[in-house]
Amino acid sequence: MTSIQETLSHRWTVRAEPFSVRTADGLAIAGTRLGDPDRSRPALVMAHGLMGWHRKPRFATFAERMTPWFAPYPFDLRGHGRSEGASDFGRDEIYDVDAVARRAREDGHDLVLTLGMSLGAISVLRHAGILGGTDGVASISSLAYWDWHEGAQPIARRRMQARIGTRGGRRALRLWGVRITDAWEPPESPEDVIGKIAPAPVVLVHGTDDHLFPPVHAERLYEAANDPRRLLLGTGFGHAEDGLSPAFAERLAGTLYAELGLPWSG
Report yes or no on whether pTM surpasses 0.75: yes
Q: Which amino acid is at 176?
A: W
Instruction: List Cα–Cα distances, 20 to 38, 113, 196, in angstroms.
Output: 20, 19, 29
Question: What kind and span of H or E run contains 217?
Answer: helix 216-224
166 pLDDT band (50/70/90 cuts)?
A: low
> Under DSSP, is residue 190 helix (H, G, I), strand (E, B) or coil?
helix
**Could you read off the pLDDT of 173-219 as tens digits, one per residue?**
777 778 888 877 889 999 999 999 999 999 999 999 888 899 999 99
Q: Domains of the chain, with CATH numbers? A: 3-260 (3.40.50.1820)
- Which class for 36: exposed (0-12), middle (13-18), buried (19 or more C-beta within 10 A)? exposed
